[in-house]
Amino acid sequence: MIKKSRIVKLSDDMHHCSSICHDSKGHYLTFYYGKECTDDQRVALLYYPNHGDDYFGNKHYYVLEQKTGNPIVFNYKGEIFLIYSKFTDCEEDGTPIDYGRNIVQRWKNCDNFVARVVVDDKNIILKDINKIDKCYGRLARCQPVEFNGEMLIPMYREADPISEVWSFDGKNVILKSQFGFIDDDVEDVISKNNLQYNYLGSGVAIQPTLIEEKGNLLAFCRNVCRSNNQQNRNAWFSKSVDGLNWSRIEYTGIPNHNNSLVAIPFSGRICFVLNVNASRDNMILYDSKSRKSVHLNVSLLRSRNSFSYPNYDWNGNILNIVHTNCGRIMWHQIDEEFLYEAFGE
């Protein structure tokens, strides 16, 4: 059985929002580091070549320019691609914005880029870097999935939040669908659960994690509402048969305290990586079938003892999970044998 973990860091700065994938050569891990929401923030891309059973191996890394963030890395037909955002600090028409102290609002005004990742003689090279058309103010967070032969990228709009699905063909990233709209029924759910909109505006669900189940595409979304009762903050859910038309968002019983979560396929059921309380002081891998969980958080001697923003990648029978861990990136590798022992058949 395998269950091992590694702390990933490039500096003493805050590390955040990681993503992971693999190809036949090795693993690719990305995140951003530097003081969050400042000009110093920038995306890092790490490459770990295969070393037999030592999956972690040695790393090579590439650092992007300042003001970049929210990266995801993924494998499309054997090639590795990176999507990331960059602060524009202006409206879409170019009008400059003075955020004052509310620098977290910079996420509302980003351009997004897609690039092909090439490893040449152990060096990481980004090729064919292109700004994604009509993607202003959007952000990526969770891993893309293949559905009905199409690569779908979950994204979201930060201002007046809405969840989105974009399609990728190896070159172009094109908006396919949106969901999470507010209507009278959703307003009733908001009122019943004592929820309120936050500073992002009119909207409740962002950062969808997509998973296929029995021919349907399911989306579980981060709840960005405020609440007078923290125990009422749960994830939102929507379903599609084609990735184009979505059901009205529903309020689930899955705990979600203003943090992203990921849904992971395993042995015909769904596992989740998520927090279960508002303080973000844990990170668990939860099996929806057995209702058992494995704790993933590792406490470190740092001022901010919190755990957030998970992502995953299956490499054969090895499940790779990455997440923010006390300002560092934690990378776990767990094999199927361990999961069967923990959760059962």
Integer Cα distance of 199 and 67 in angstroms: 22
Mean pLDDT of 263-276: 96
Strand runs labelled E in 226-327: 226-227, 234-240, 250-255, 262-266, 269-274, 284-287, 293-295, 307-315, 318-325
- The structural domains of the chain, with segments of one domain joined by +, span 3-343
* Confidence category of residue 228, pLDDT binned at 50, 70, 90: confident
Higher pLDDT, 190 or 231: 190
- Residues 143/185, Cβ–Cβ less than 8 Å: no
Integer Cα distance of 284 and 268 in angstroms: 20
Give per-residue pLDDT as tens, 301-343.
Answer: 766 678 999 999 999 999 999 999 999 999 999 999 999 999 9
Residue where the block lists tokens 């908001």: 190
- Residues 48/340, Cβ–Cβ less than 8 Å: no
Lowest mean pLDDT among 48-52, 53-57, 112-116, 261-265: 53-57
Name the CA radius of gyration of the chain, rounded.
19
Higher pLDDT, 102 or 21: 21
Q: Please, where are the H alpha helices in the chain?
A: 184-192, 336-343
- Number of CB atoms found within 10 A of residue 311's CB: 27
pTM over 0.85: yes
Answer yes or no: is pLDDT of 280 > 80.
yes
Q: What is the mean pLDDT of the chain?
A: 94
Which of these CATH numbers, 1.10.3720.10, 3.30.565.10, 1.10.10.10, 2.120.10.10, describes 3-343?
2.120.10.10
Residue where the block lists tokens 């405020």: 226
